[in-house]
Structure 1
Amino acid sequence: MKKGIHPEYRTVVFHDTSVDEYFLIGSTLQTKQTIEWKDGKTYPYFTIEVSSLSHSFYTGKQMVIQKEGRVANFNRRFAQFSTGDK
């Protein structure tokens, strides 16, 4: 690797504010905020709104919408135009 062209890779504390969880992850993210971690060391700190602990896809709380078929959708939309005679 060339010297001086790559961003600094370091350990950063990410805070998921929606579930109040903290993650210690390696990142090149630049931030001016710091926080003291459980091990007594000070790390860069960054807040996020969604992580794997709060996202509905990963928590299993994702809503599944039932989609009706094409024929049922057609009948629902055009039922008002039918005369009832056949």
Structure 2
Amino acid sequence: MSEDSGLWLLAAGPAGATALYWALYRYYRNTDKSHAFERETDIEARPVTGADTKVGEVKGTQRRRIDGDNVGAHRQRVKRVR
């Protein structure tokens, strides 16, 4: 066997890495199939609507804790308010 027969194996490494990188880039980026939101979407602007409702008031800095904090029970699940 001559020493030249192993050169294809050395060239296959960088070529394979380049092909894998390009395949993963094309798979995850989908640049040819992605939706161009800025160009293809028409957005109609309207005035902002809504209301501000006052729910409470805190005066001064006497209270050092927030009502309902979970400092002592870090893993306690949050329950849905009904």
Shorter-chain TM range is under 0.3
TM-score normalised by length of structure 2: 0.25
More strand as a share of residues: 1
More helix as a share of residues: 2
TM-score normalised by length of structure 1: 0.24
